Amino acid sequence: MDRPSWAPHGIDISTPSVSRMYDFYLGGSHNFEVDREAARKAMEFLPGMPKIMQANRAFMRRAVRYAVSEGITQFLDIGSGIPTFGNVHEVAQGENPDARIVYVDHDPVAVAHSEVVLEGNDGAGIVAADLRKPEDILGSSAVESHLDLERPVALLLVALLHFVEDADDPYGAVAELGAVLAPGSLIVLTHAAYDGIPLPEQQAGGAVGVYKNIRNPLIMRSRDEIARFFEGYEMVEPGLVSMAEWRPDTPPEDEDPYAFSGFAGVGRKA
């Protein structure tokens, strides 16, 4: 198996990674054949996977611009993945050059590539850590040096929570992170759900099975279960809606049907 020159030393390139599959869906080049194979398998059941990921990214960019317009210049992006065009630091620093961003991911390829992309960018850092251990994130040198937790922060959890099983207590982890955020902070998240997918649930379930088979279960939660992540926050208009319906730049009726899969929302800490 060929190991690309950019692959971090010691990484297992025989096991698919969700962040590298995401990179493949978005047309990126930092993925291995094993990731492409798993992604193609998921697309056999859910051909709109790339469109869903593009809708995720588009929502994220709109939410970041919204945060900056509300005076927020600090971003903590957990499960940030492999940086591609139009990432959080590009959008935020494009709106306000003083914006500061900390990316967090547990995939070694995502971390290594982020380090390369962020080289020379004093306003951004990367942490190798996992949402399930909030203390590792909050205690990291990147967070301590880049973010002032006494001031509002936008906490981004985009296309992440559906990879955390209930047994790993995603609600507890999100609450622990939220507890340290200053009033006026935002939580920005998207989550997979069967709602809105323009296919029978049984067929979409085939794609869920692919993730289960690669030991990265995709947890489809209901709207009410997703809304629980916003406890303690006031929902920003238009509330918890499909990604295509959250403050769209273009008419939602022009969107691909897959852009309405799952839910997206932004909450403000009182």
pLDDT tens digits, 19-66: 999 999 999 988 999 999 999 999 999 999 999 999 999 999 999 999
pLDDT average, residue stretch 186-205: 97
Question: 3-state DSSP call for residue 241?
Answer: strand
Q: How far is CA 156 from CA 58, 59, 78, 118, 168, in A?
A: 14, 11, 6, 18, 19
β-pairing, 74-78 vs 154-157, is parallel
Residue with tokens 């998207």, as numbered in its chain: 190
| pTM of the shown model | 0.95
**Residue ranges of domains in the chain, CATH in brackets:** 55-199+219-269 (3.40.50.150)
pLDDT tens digits, 130-150: 999 999 999 999 999 999 999
pLDDT tens digits, 82-115: 988 889 999 999 999 999 999 999 998 899 989 9
1: pLDDT strictly greater than 70: no
Q: Are 230 and 187 in contact (CB under 8 A)?
A: yes
> pLDDT band at residue 11, thresholds of 50, 70 and 90?
confident
pLDDT tens digits, 221-241: 999 999 999 999 999 999 999
* Chain centre distance of CA 110: 12
- Per-residue pLDDT at 226: 98
Cα dihedral 36/161/185/114 (nearest 10): -30
- Per-residue pLDDT at 9: 75
- Per-residue pLDDT at 85: 81
CA distance 131 to 247: 27
pLDDT average, residue stretch 180-205: 97
CA distance 128 to 106: 5
- Per-residue pLDDT at 8: 77
The residues facing 125 across adjacent strands are: 102
Locate 221 and state its tokens. 């939660």
